[in-house]
Structure 1
Amino acid sequence: MKNVIKVVLVDDEILFRQGIKFMLDREEDFQVVFQASNGKELLDYLDNTDEQPDAILTDLKMPVLNGVETTKILHKKYPSTKIIALTSYDSHSFVANMIDVGAAAFVLKNAKPEELLYAIRQVADKGFYYNEKVLKILKEIELMKKNAKSELDAAFLSPREIEVLQLICEQKNTAQIAEILFISPRTVEGHRTNLLLKTESKNIAGLVVFAIQNRLALIDM
């Protein structure tokens, strides 16, 4: 008999959540122990149970408390809990942000069922699962960090400022950056202002040029 992997599903789309449960219930080694429609319901459950799940599948965009903020809290409060981001968004920034806040895996909602099952088993067994796309992004992030350190003092720009700079170079506007990074538009504007001051750039074009010259952002040509 295989060890049973206890799973919690967190998604505000009930039909999708039930579909995942139906799929997991057909496997001998999975047991869905709880379902939640947002991060707050999940945290309330974890605070009132003695048995922690082996894996938590969570969407990113949810009401009340979204997946990113939930993952941040879980990573600090329950560091041994393994979180799998299950989402429709696969941009560089979304993946990087979730990995940065403590996600053990990142799986797209349009992935094949076999990949999701494999991801959960890998996370339960090895503690993480990164497919080729995520590995590529992680390598790019590491390259960006190395380049930034080689060209500039490590403390010159904060990791968040570099993320904002990358998105600016991808021609994302304030609202889009705020949505991707799960921060307020006012916070985005604050980071943009700091970038302009620190780099002595006069406008956004100047920021892009600075990013290219100092190899601080990946630019798709």
Structure 2
Amino acid sequence: MRNIFKIIHLDDNPVFFKVLERNLRRIKDIDILYRATTRKDKLEQMITDSLPDLPDLFISDLMLKDDHDATQGINFVKKINSQYPSLKIMVLSARSDQTIKEDLKPHITKYQTKSYLPRQFTKDIIALLKGENA
């Protein structure tokens, strides 16, 4: 029996969202459980569902269109991590701010800027799902 990896994806940029989803679909044995474009919708959905079947990876944009700065995204990731400490979290961001990376480091598995190459992104996702360092 094959292992199907379950992913949650949160991003508000429709173009980036589609590109990332296309890359995810190219990876064998992936099931995208939830897709969302706002943190509020996703967080409420996750809490309501209580994640009976914990996903293998949560991919989240750091800053969404209604955010004034990265604080909301940082707090959201920390909350998800405290509620689901075994959940692997990959944060995507257009920002490469070292302070943000350091603040998130104990709470996430991977921080990736959105300037990544699709091929490298795919390799990183596969490595994370297999429990390897990406």
Q: Shorter chain as normaliser: what TM range?
A: 0.7 to 0.9
Q: Distance in 2 between matches of 1:61 and 1:23?
A: 21
Q: Which runs of 5+ in 2 are unaligned?
A: none
Deviation at 1:77, TM superposition (A): 0.7
Aligned with 1:71 (options 51, 66, 77) = 77
TM-score normalised over the length of structure 1: 0.52
Q: Distance in 1 between matches of 2:20 and 2:2?
A: 20
Q: Distance in 1 between matches of 2:132 and 2:75?
A: 20
Name the count of aligned residue pairs.
Answer: 128
SS at match of 1:28: coil
Larger radius of gyration: 1
The superposition leaves residues 65-109 of structure 1 with CA deviations (integer Å, 9 ceiling, x where unpaired) of 932111110111111111101111112112112214x01101111
Does 1 or 2 have the higher relative contact order (CA < 8 Å, sep 6+)? 2
Aligned to 1:113: 118
8 Å contact kept, 1:58–1:83: yes
Aligned to 1:89: 95
Once the two structures are overlaid, the 10-residue window that deviates more, 113-122 or 61-70, is 61-70
The superposition leaves residues 94-134 of structure 1 with CA deviations (integer Å, 9 ceiling, x where unpaired) of 2112214x0110111111112222222222222753xxxxx
The structure with more helix, counted as a fraction of residues: 1
Alignment of 1:136-155 (within 5 A): none
The two structures, once aligned, show a CA RMSD in angstroms of: 2.1
8 Å contact kept, 1:39–1:66: no
Is 1:126 matched up with 2:119? no
Percent identity at matched positions? 21
Q: Which runs of 5+ in 1 are unaligned?
A: 130-221
